[in-house]
Amino acid sequence: MTDQKTFIVGDIHGCLDPLKRLMDRLDWRPVKDRLIFLGDYIDRGPDPPGVVEYILELFKQSDMIECLIGNHEALFLDYLSGKDRRLFLLNGGTETLQCYHRRRRDPEEDLVPQDHLLFYHGLKPYVELDDFYLVHAGFRPGVEIKRQTLEDMTWIRDPFIFSTYDFGKRVIFGHTPFSEPLVLDNKIGLDTGAVYGNRLTCLELPEMRFHSVEAD
């Protein structure tokens, strides 16, 4: 019998101060407990690069941290590779680019630091726990988990949200904001709209305890 806990954090969107306050509130033990982020670290909020920098500092404390890819990171990677740049800008990417420009000390430096690029490229599509699947947006009902597309896992909304489909395990997800955590038999939604002035939320397992802080 283990007393290991798992902490799962919803969409941050550049809201660094709420993230710090949330982490201060958690009883997270770096050498023992898992810490999992559901994606959307960047765009729309005041300090997207600062959020990534903060998570990279957490990595130095623990090897039990996992980070999922959100649609905004997928858009950013497309932007950096020269693919569909307009879509990234239309979805809040301007704030992210401006923040990276402001952080750059030398115009000759790369816009995005190498350790940030490695972070973005290393993000996972989903994580499987004993009793849960963790994914940014959700899954396509009727499709095996291993056959899900990255587009669905980072973008899907209504076909997943309104489905009662049993995926074999309860699905914990972000992406779609709610005023408070969505708790249904087959899914739990943790995006509580921090970037829209509501709250940043974390789910603690196995206690099924929600922690949240007000946005700035």
Assigned token pair, 163: 């489905």
Assigned token pair, 205: 């397992």
Question: Is there a domain that residue 2 lies in?
Answer: no
CA distance 197 to 216: 7
H-type helices in 48-178, by residue range?
48-59, 71-80, 85-88, 94-103, 114-121, 150-155, 158-161
| Number of folded domains that form the chain | 1
Question: Is there a domain that residue 120 lies in?
Answer: yes
| Percentage of the chain lying above the pLDDT 90 cut | 93
Phi-psi region of 23 (alpha: psi -120 to 50; beta: other; left: phi over 0): alpha
DSSP string, 75-87: HHHHHHTTSSHHH
Question: Is there a domain that residue 8 lies in?
Answer: no
Question: Is there a domain that residue 78 lies in?
Answer: yes
- Asked whether the predicted pLDDT for residue 188 surpasses 50, the reply is yes
Question: Is there a domain that residue 1 lies in?
Answer: no
Question: Is there a domain that residue 197 lies in?
Answer: yes
Nearest to 186 by CA among 122, 131, 124: 131
pLDDT one-digit tens code per residue, 97-145: 999 999 988 877 889 999 999 999 999 999 999 999 999 999 999 999 9
pTM here is 0.96
Range of the domain at 208: 13-214
pLDDT of residue 194: 97
Predicted confidence band at 192 (pLDDT cuts at 50, 70, 90)? very high
Question: Is there a domain that residue 7 lies in?
Answer: no
CATH number at 147 reads 3.60.21.10
Question: Is there a domain that residue 82 lies in?
Answer: yes
Assigned token pair, 80: 């950096």
